[in-house]
Amino acid sequence: MAIAPARASRPGAARAPFEQPTRDELDSCPFCAGHEEMTPPQTFALPEDGDWRVRVVPNLYPALDRQEVVVHSRLHKRTLADLSAQELELVAEAWHRRRASEPDGYLWALVNEGREAGSSLPHSHSQLAWLPGQPDPEPARAGDAVVERDGLVAWCPFVARLPYESAIAPIDPEPSGFRSPLLASALALLAELVRRLHKLEGPVPLNAWLHEHESGWRLVLLPRLTILAGLGPPARPPQRRPDARAPPAVRETGARHRSRRRGSGPCPWPA
């Protein structure tokens, strides 16, 4: 494994600066309240009567036979970090209800934020995709605990795919996140981790998804702070040394800790 932190300062490696929504972005957003005619007819909404707060529509450009979009808010919110606790509870209920409506197959719930992470629209939303088969299991739970509460644990893996990768799962494993009473709390904890990440790095592109397996479900957070590039045979380089330990700041203190962003280093989450 080669660690080359100096490559983070090469021309073109910096992320684009954050910009506030423009009037054109707001006027053209199909997910904002009042623009419902810009999407296919909804398949589900919460609440079911009156003004919707979370809305589900078919994906207009699906990659699979069945794929839906869950709009997280009536307002033009760009990130999970901006959603209220009530909105996150409704998102969890929408995921649960859509899973119950089509119980066959493997349902993959995922969130993409930022163009670098694959999102074409900035309004906060998630995708529900019915896959033809079950993905490979995630690695066994092993890493530094970031938060432990409400029957959930969030941790930073010892060997991460990208900096700040983390995961959230029930302390006592459960097979299905869509059916779990802890799903809303897990989404709230995911939003908290994204807010912590924003404090450290500013708004960043990220992917998050719900992974289900008979050994237990989890939410995975994968920020896109590093651009993957090829050099030699394909490989997945680990971003942290197996012996790297999380500093006390990730547990109960409010101290700020930065790892080496573009290479290996300790789990960087502040409390």
Strands (E), the chain: 44-46, 54-58, 67-71, 106-113, 125-131, 143-149, 152-157, 166-170, 206-211, 218-223
Q: What is the pLDDT, as a whole number, of residue 106?
A: 95
pLDDT, residue 48, reads: 93
Instruction: Give me the pLDDT at residue 2, please.
Output: 65
Q: What is the pLDDT of residue 247?
A: 41
Residue 19: what pLDDT? 78
Query: What pLDDT, on a 0 to 100 scale, did the predictor assign at position 6?
Result: 75
Structure tokens at 204: 């960043």
Alpha carbon distance 121, 59 (integer Å): 12
Domain annotation for the chain: domains and CATH numbers:
29-227+236-250 (3.30.428.10)
pTM of the model: 0.83
**Sheet of 106-113, strand order:** 44-46, 54-58, 67-71, 125-131, 106-113, 206-211, 218-223, 166-170, 152-157, 143-149
pLDDT (tens digit, 0 to 9) for every residue of the chain, 271 residues total?
Answer: 566 777 777 776 666 666 789 999 999 999 999 999 999 999 999 999 999 999 999 999 999 999 999 999 999 999 999 999 999 999 999 999 999 999 999 999 999 999 989 999 999 999 999 998 889 989 989 899 999 999 999 999 998 999 999 999 999 999 999 999 999 999 999 999 999 999 999 999 999 999 999 889 999 999 998 776 666 554 444 444 434 444 444 443 333 333 333 333 446 566 5
DSSP 3-state of 197: helix
Q: Which of 25, 32, 80, 29 is nearest to 53 (CA)?
A: 32
